[in-house]
């Protein structure tokens, strides 16, 4: 057994949705380092081009919440990669943080689309292509908000919980065809966007909340994606893997006096 070779993804075509910045860009770097060929998808054409140039991949900008947009992405995938298309990593998602009663219909639907609908389209359109090519892996970024209640994130967390269950059920549907599907469920990750949006007081609290005493990084996400996409995870499917420095094992209960 040569375990080092199992991490390699040489010449495998992989689509990265949400590739342009933060977790997506770092994931692209990790996948390219082990030989993957990438289609870098982002809503911002400039960001898609920038990361594609950096990793030697292909850039595309489409609306991933649209069936037409996703059909275009997978048509390009087939044209570029052919039978070497072996995987997809989905890092698209943004939380609309507000009380549930503050949502209007349009904003609620937008939250569902950016979290759940595009993932449904990715599986419906992409998984059969991977199966047709002999199998591969699909990794989705979920959220700790889909596992527990977070203030202001009821709609977001509900959409993420639906994503988690979609992947669990779909993993069974496609397992016999050689397509593995898993979810990474992080808490707050130090992405450029969140670092700019949330102050240092918040990040000190986020660090303190994790038993490992630090919030996650984009490198933490990319490392686990790399494992799940590789043959090191050949028998891993249908899992929701928490990535939170141990925060998921901590009960929100008072400590009794000893």
Per-residue pLDDT tens digits for 73-93: 999 999 999 999 999 999 999
Q: Quick one: what percent of the chain has pLDDT higher than 90?
A: 81
Structure tokens at 190: 């130090």
Residue 99 makes CB contacts below 8 A (sequence gap 6+) with 152, 154
pLDDT at 192 over 90: no
pLDDT tens per residue across span 142-188: 999 999 999 999 999 999 999 999 999 999 999 999 999 999 999 98
205 confidence band (pLDDT: 50, 70, 90)? confident
Query: Rounded to an integer, what distance in angstroms lies between the CA atom of residue 87 and that of residue 171?
Result: 14
Q: What is the pLDDT of residue 59?
A: 98
- Domain at 8-243, CATH homologous superfamily: NAD(P)-binding Rossmann-like Domain (3.40.50.720)
Instruction: Name the DSSP class of 16.
Output: E
- Tell me whether residue 179 is exposed, middle or buried, using C-beta atoms within 10 angstroms of its C-beta: 0 to 12, 13 to 18, 19 or more: buried
CA-to-CA separations, 113 to 18, 66, 75, 120, 130, in angstroms, rounded = 14, 9, 21, 9, 23
Helix axes 154-175, 105-112, angle to 10 degrees: 30
Instruction: Decide: 67 and 117 in contact? Cβ < 8 Å.
Output: no
Query: Rounded to an integer, what distance in angstroms lies between the CA atom of residue 121 and that of residue 126?
Result: 8
Q: What is the pLDDT of residue 258?
A: 57
pLDDT at 254 over 90: no
Domain limits, the chain: 8-243
């Amino acid at each position: 057994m040569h375990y080092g070779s199992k991490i390699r993804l040489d010449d495998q075509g992989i689509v990265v949705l949400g590739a342009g910045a933060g977790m997506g860009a770092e994931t692209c770097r990790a996948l390219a380092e082990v030989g993957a060929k990438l289609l870098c998808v982002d809503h911002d054409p400039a960001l898609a081009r920038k990361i594609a140039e950096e990793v030697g991949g292909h850039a595309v900008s489409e609306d991933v919440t649209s069936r037409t947009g996703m059909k275009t992405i997978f048509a390009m995938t087939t044209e570029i990669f052919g039978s070497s298309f072996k995987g997809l990593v989905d890092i698209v998602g943004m939380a609309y943080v507000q009380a549930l009663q503050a949502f209007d219909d349009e904003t609620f639907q937008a939250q569902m689309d950016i979290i759940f609908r595009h993932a449904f389209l990715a599986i419906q359109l992409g998984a059969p292509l991977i199966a047709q090519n002999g199998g591969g892996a699909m990794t989705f970024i979920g959220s700790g908000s889909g596992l527990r209640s977070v203030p202001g994130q009821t709609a977001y967390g509900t959409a993420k919980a639906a994503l988690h269950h979609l992947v669990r059920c779909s993993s069974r549907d496609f397992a016999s065809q050689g397509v593995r599907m898993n979810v990474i469920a992080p808490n707050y990750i130090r992405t450029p966007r969140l670092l700019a949006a949330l102050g240092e007081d918040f990040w000190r609290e986020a660090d303190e909340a994790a038993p490992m005493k630090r919030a996650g990084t984009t490198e933490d996400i990319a490392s686990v994606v790399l494992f799940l996409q590789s043959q090191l995870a050949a028998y891993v499917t249908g899992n929701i893997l928490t990535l939170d420095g141990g925060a998921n094992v901590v009960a929100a209960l008072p400590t009794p006096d000893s």
